[in-house]
């Protein structure tokens, strides 16, 4: 047997050997689908002598594509470089950079994110004098919805004439499209849609791509939308060799256009398709899988499969019914402290998953108080920081001078006295002359049609842009960015000795390091290549392996796994979410809980609160219906039946599919119900110096001043006014806080 096949189980081996034509693999969570994909590609190259140039592998995140690429580079050191392993969007950018000039764009087009989209939409609303408060939000959503279905403004209007404000929305959509074209820009949805239009309309582009990508592999197929599915069909139309791997039980992106039914459509559109199932799970314990299997069987729209494993039965799943979100957060954080202090787990082994990002506040607050290192995902991204976005806007203008939105961001940064009135005059002149703003400004001194005051005000900026355009052609990307930072005098602009300015300087240094690393990893790359990478960046790629607890929405944790998982906020109206109003929505919510459960390898904790303060009011909460469906709802009795009573530890469904509501084996660390009572071991020491007015230092928040000291819940709390983050309450016995005068 070939060495590649020896590393696979029998379930995985069969689809690897089936190399020609259409193949669909429905792969359960933790069943080794990445191994399947990489080994199949390696088998094609080594055994079937397929040229790497003819292999395409598509997935949904840069992180997943990077991991697949790393594995193939290890397996095929010389061949891996020739194949394309990328996300859908990255693949489309490659195709468009090569052929987009055939359909009226410049190849150096900009890629607009949500900020640029929203800004253009708001400008159109202002120009049209529409007054509805939430019209911008509606329009932004509708534009993306239309593009996911491949609909023009007129087509979208016909299909949605029952919607409120549809007339205005479609006028905004049409104006938005015109503005994108003027700016030589595409938004994120356009990358897919314009590529599809290109391949349908241009025979040369279509023939080139079909001949190049003769063996196509698609990961996470359940997450494809209509446009992505049509792209795949066109690319595979000539040779028919398409290998799709997905799991309809993990389709959780219906809200952004993903259609899990593409898995079922695949078998119809490729009539000779062979279907294989991967049901052996390598990740989780039997108890965790039993709960996942019991839950997902309540969905009707699925291919029947049952996950199984040779792993141990494992610890029983632990459950806590807390009195409030504060008690819930305290129990979870105390439990985490116990797990880490036991020596069994590191912080990075642990994730706290939630349906809504709004639930994160109480958990973050407790972790800050107890000094637990953590990161929140689905939150603030590095490339979304103001100082970084300002620099990137300069780079976008220098890469694509037609990008008017980027230019408007930088025209008065750093401040140079250019106000909205000047920008309006420029925009009006651009509309009349047909020139982009950058061209007007670069040639401002030779332009007699503008008022003298405008010319005088813009001349220094014009000279700066001319110098930057000139240096861009002479320097490598890293050297040019350093030149740009110096030209803008950002070290002076952010030169104050405040925590905020120090952080901004640090972020700018991180950006330079990021560009340098990108250049080192991509020999001969251009500024446009780097900007493309940034445009396709996602926040989960910031998960860098450091030792911190992950706080994330379940959507952000898709594709990841942890030794220990806490699923919190399991309440009706939260999980499943309250806006859910159809059986199809309920099935997607159930799939989302299934994804959360199957992120856990060894330990799983589930919590809900009897009451919760959310969206400005406190309400009584009721346990999620999914808890009972997954066998995770213990029978309460006596004192513990009351809301606010102690949580219970209990076993769940075992490998033999029989209920075992038995007491779990005594763990090395306290169960959640004990953690809720006891809390972590307090620090000892002399706290007498921590009084109102004392200067203190926190390793994360920097310098601050104590505003007041109080005793709550048998603990001493201090309220600190930090220079960087404002007021924060900290438990003095737990927080890593020290007096500044003892430095």
Q: What is the pLDDT of residues 448-464, one digit of tens each?
A: 778 888 898 999 999 99
Name which of 50-64, 283-297, 303-317, 629-643 the model is least confident about.
629-643
d(CA 260, CA 295): 18
d(CA 471, CA 485): 13
The whole-number pLDDT of residue 711 equals: 74
Query: Are 578 and 279 a contacting pair, CB within 8 Å?
Result: no
Name which of 73-77, 216-220, 637-641, 695-699 the model is least confident about.
637-641
Name which of 99-108, 233-242, 306-315, 444-453 the model is least confident about.
444-453
Query: Given a cut of 90, is residue 543 above it in pLDDT?
Result: no
Percent of the chain residues topping a pLDDT of 70: 87
The whole-number pLDDT of residue 348 equals: 94
Q: What digits encode the pLDDT tens for the residues 581-608? A: 556 689 999 999 999 999 999 999 999 9
Question: Quick one: 466 exposed, middle or buried, by C-beta within 10 A (0-12, 13-18, 19+)?
Answer: middle
Phi, psi (5° rounding) for residue 71? -65, -40
Nearest to 461 by CA among 427, 520, 495, 416: 416
The whole-number pLDDT of residue 682 equals: 52
Query: Given a cut of 70, is residue 694 above it in pLDDT?
Result: yes
Query: Are 83 and 73 a contacting pair, CB within 8 Å?
Result: no
The whole-number pLDDT of residue 581 equals: 52
The whole-number pLDDT of residue 640 equals: 30
| pLDDT band, very low/low/confident/very high, at 677 (cuts 50, 70, 90) | low
Half-sphere exposure of 107 (CA within 13 A, CB side): 9
Element (H, E) at 69: helix 62-75
| pLDDT band, very low/low/confident/very high, at 671 (cuts 50, 70, 90) | low
Nearest to 239 by CA among 216, 262, 264, 257: 216
d(CA 611, CA 571): 10
Alpha-carbon distances of 240 from 19, 34, 91, 246, 621, rounded to whole Å: 11, 22, 19, 18, 52
Phi, psi (5° rounding) for residue 620? -70, 140
Query: Given a cut of 50, is residue 229 above it in pLDDT?
Result: yes
Extract the tokens encoding 106: 């410049």
Phi, psi (5° rounding) for residue 547? -90, 85
d(CA 178, CA 531): 23
d(CA 575, CA 355): 6
Percent of the chain residues topping a pLDDT of 90: 54
Query: Given a cut of 90, is residue 152 above it in pLDDT?
Result: yes
For residue 720, list its beta bridge partners.
706, 728
The whole-number pLDDT of residue 537 equals: 59
| pLDDT band, very low/low/confident/very high, at 318 (cuts 50, 70, 90) | very high
**Pairing between strand 600-609 and 318-322?**
parallel
Name which of 98-102, 177-181, 517-521 the model is least confident about.
517-521
| pLDDT band, very low/low/confident/very high, at 613 (cuts 50, 70, 90) | confident
Query: Given a cut of 70, is residue 395 above it in pLDDT?
Result: yes
| pLDDT band, very low/low/confident/very high, at 709 (cuts 50, 70, 90) | confident
Query: Are 675 and 691 a contacting pair, CB within 8 Å?
Result: no
What DSSP string runs through 183-224? Answer: TTEEEHHHHHHHHHHHHHH-HHHHHHHHHH-SEEEESSGGG-
The whole-number pLDDT of residue 304 equals: 84
The whole-number pLDDT of residue 672 equals: 64
Alpha-carbon distances of 247 from 25, 163, 259, 296, 303, rounded to whole Å: 8, 33, 12, 12, 9
Average pLDDT rounded to a whole number, residues 356-360: 80
Query: Given a cut of 90, is residue 183 above it in pLDDT?
Result: yes
Sheet holding 374-377, edge to edge: 318-322, 600-609, 562-567, 350-354, 549-553, 374-377
Average pLDDT rounded to a whole number, residues 40-66: 93
Query: Given a cut of 60, is residue 219 above it in pLDDT?
Result: yes
Query: Given a cut of 50, is residue 650 above it in pLDDT?
Result: no
| pLDDT band, very low/low/confident/very high, at 578 (cuts 50, 70, 90) | low
Cβ count near 613 (within 10 Å): 14
The length of the chain in residues reads 743
Per-residue buried b or exposed e for 558-595, using 16+ beta carbons within 10 Å of the residue's own CB: bbbebbbbbbbbbbbbbbbeeebeeeeebbbbbbbbbb
Q: Which residue has the higher pLDDT, 721 or 154?
A: 154
Query: In angstroms, how far is CA 640 from the centroid of its own chain?
Result: 39
Which residues are within 8 A (CB) of 411 and not within 5 positions of it... i.e. 6 or more apart? 418, 423, 437, 441, 461
d(CA 438, CA 184): 13
| pLDDT band, very low/low/confident/very high, at 683 (cuts 50, 70, 90) | low
Extract the tokens encoding 496: 């104050």
| pLDDT band, very low/low/confident/very high, at 660 (cuts 50, 70, 90) | very low
Average pLDDT rounded to a whole number, residues 350-364: 87
Query: Which residue matches tokens 């196509």?
Result: 216
Q: What is the pTM of this model?
A: 0.74
Q: Is 698 helix (H, G, I), strand (E, B) or coil?
A: strand
DSSP 623: B
Query: Are 330 and 731 a contacting pair, CB within 8 Å?
Result: no
Query: Given a cut of 70, is residue 26 above it in pLDDT?
Result: yes
The whole-number pLDDT of residue 345 equals: 96
The whole-number pLDDT of residue 637 equals: 38
Query: Given a cut of 90, is residue 105 above it in pLDDT?
Result: yes
| pLDDT band, very low/low/confident/very high, at 569 (cuts 50, 70, 90) | very high
Query: Given a cut of 50, is residue 576 above it in pLDDT?
Result: yes
Query: Given a cut of 80, is residue 743 above it in pLDDT?
Result: no
Query: Given a cut of 90, is residue 95 above it in pLDDT?
Result: yes
d(CA 104, CA 112): 18
* Cα-based angle 307, 243, 267 (whole degrees, multiple of 5): 80
Q: Which residue has the higher pLDDT, 675 or 642?
A: 675
Between the CA atoms of 64, 65, 71 and 76, what dihedral angle is there, to the nearest 10 degrees? 170
Nearest to 532 by CA among 97, 162, 209, 170: 97
The helices-and-strands tally (H runs, E runs) of the chain is: 28, 21
Nearest to 82 by CA among 61, 51, 36: 51
DSSP 141: H
| pLDDT band, very low/low/confident/very high, at 639 (cuts 50, 70, 90) | very low
Residues assigned a catalytic role? 33-34, 219-220, 250, 599
The whole-number pLDDT of residue 93 equals: 95
Question: Quick one: 133 exposed, middle or buried, by C-beta within 10 A (0-12, 13-18, 19+)?
Answer: exposed
| pLDDT band, very low/low/confident/very high, at 674 (cuts 50, 70, 90) | low
The whole-number pLDDT of residue 406 equals: 92
Q: Which residue has the higher pLDDT, 253 or 155?
A: 155
Average pLDDT rounded to a whole number, residues 690-710: 86
Average pLDDT rounded to a whole number, residues 382-396: 87
Query: Are 540 and 561 a contacting pair, CB within 8 Å?
Result: no
Query: Given a cut of 50, is residue 292 above it in pLDDT?
Result: yes
Extract the tokens encoding 89: 């969007």
């Amino acid at each position: 047997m070939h060495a590649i096949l020896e590393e696979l189980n029998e379930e995985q081996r069969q689809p690897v050997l089936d190399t020609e034509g259409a193949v669909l693999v429905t792969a359960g969570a933790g069943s080794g689908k990445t191994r399947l994909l990489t080994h199949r590609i390696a088998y094609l190259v080594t055994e079937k002598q397929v040229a790497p140039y003819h292999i395409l592998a598509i997935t949904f995140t840069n992180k997943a594509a990077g991991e697949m690429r790393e594995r193939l580079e290890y397996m095929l050191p010389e061949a891996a470089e020739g194949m394309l392993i990328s996300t859908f969007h990255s693949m489309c950018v490659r195709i468009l950079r090569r052929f987009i000039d055939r359909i009226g764009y410049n190849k150096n087009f900009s890629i607009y994110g949500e900020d640029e989209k929203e800004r253009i939409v708001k400008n159109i609303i202002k120009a049209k004098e529409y007054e509805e408060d939430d019209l911008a939000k509606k329009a932004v959503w509708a534009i993306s919805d239309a593009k996911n279905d491949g609909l023009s403004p007129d087509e979208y209007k016909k299909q949605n004439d029952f919607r409120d404000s549809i007339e205005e929305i479609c006028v905004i959509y049409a104006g938005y499209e015109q503005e994108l074209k003027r700016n030589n820009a595409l938004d994120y949805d356009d990358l897919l849609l314009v590529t599809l239009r290109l391949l349908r309309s241009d025979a040369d582009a279509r023939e080139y791509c079909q001949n190049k990508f003769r063996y196509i592999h698609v990961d996470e197929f359940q997450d494809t939308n209509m446009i992505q599915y049509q792209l795949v069909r066109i690319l595979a139309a000539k040779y028919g060799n398409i290998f799709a791997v997905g799991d309809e039980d993990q389709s959780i992106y219906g809200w952004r256009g993903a259609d899990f039914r593409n898995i079922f459509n695949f078998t119809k559109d490729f009539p000779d398709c062979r279907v294989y199932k991967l049901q052996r799970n390598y990740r989780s314990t039997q108890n965790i899988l039993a709960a996942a299997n019991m839950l997902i069987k309540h969905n009707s729209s699925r291919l029947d499969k049952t996950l199984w494993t040779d792993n141990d039965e494992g610890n029983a799943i632990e459950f806590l019914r807390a009195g409030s979100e504060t008690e819930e957060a305290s129990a979870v954080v105390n439990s985490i402290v116990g797990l880490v202090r036991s020596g069994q787990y590191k912080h990075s082994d642990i994730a706290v998953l939630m349906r809504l990002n709004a639930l994160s506040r109480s958990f973050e607050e407790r972790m800050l108080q107890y000094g637990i290192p953590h990161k929140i995902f689905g939150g603030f991204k590095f490339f979304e920081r103001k100082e970084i976005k300002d620099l990137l806007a300069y780079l976008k203008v220098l890469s694509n001078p037609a990008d008017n939105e980027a230019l408007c961001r930088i025209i008065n940064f750093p401040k140079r006295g250019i106000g909205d009135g000047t920008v309006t005059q420029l925009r009006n002149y651009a509309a009349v002359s047909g020139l982009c703003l950058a061209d007007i400004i670069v040639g401002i001194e030779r332009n007699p049609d503008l008022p003298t005051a405008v010319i005088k005000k813009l001349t220094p900026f014009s000279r700066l842009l001319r110098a930057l355009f000139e240096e861009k052609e002479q320097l490598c990307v890293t050297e040019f960015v350093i030149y740009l930072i110096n030209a803008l005098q950002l070290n002076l602009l952010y030169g104050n000795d405040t925590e905020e300015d120090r952080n901004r300087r640090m972020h700018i240094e991180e950006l330079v390091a990021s560009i340098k690393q990108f250049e080192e990893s991509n020999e001969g790359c251009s500024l446009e290549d780097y900007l493309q990478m940034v445009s396709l960046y996602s926040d989960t790629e910031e998960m860098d392996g450091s030792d911190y607890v992950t706080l994330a929405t379940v959507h952000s944790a898709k594709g990841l796994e942890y030794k220990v998982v806490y699923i919190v906020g399991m309440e009706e109206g939260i999980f499943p979410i309250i806006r859910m109003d159809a059986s199809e929505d309920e099935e997607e919510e159930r799939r989302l809980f299934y994804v959360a459960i199957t992120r856990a390898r060894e330990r799983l904790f589930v919590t809900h609160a009897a009451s919760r303060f959310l969206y400005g009011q406190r309400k009584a909460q009721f346990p999620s219906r999914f808890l009972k469906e997954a066998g995770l709802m213990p029978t309460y009795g006596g004192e513990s039946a009351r809301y606010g009573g102690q949580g219970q530890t209990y076993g769940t469904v075992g490998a033999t599919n029989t209920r075992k509501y038995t007491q779990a084996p005594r763990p090395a660390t306290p169960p959640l119900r004990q953690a809720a009572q006891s809390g972590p071991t307090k620090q000892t020491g002399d706290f007498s110096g921590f009084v109102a007015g004392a200067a203190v230092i926190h390793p994360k928040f920097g310098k601050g001043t104590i505003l007041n000291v109080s005793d709550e819940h048998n603990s001493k709390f201090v309220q600190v006014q930090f220079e960087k983050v404002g007021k924060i309450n900290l438990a003095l016995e737990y927080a890593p806080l020290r007096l500044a005068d003892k430095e």
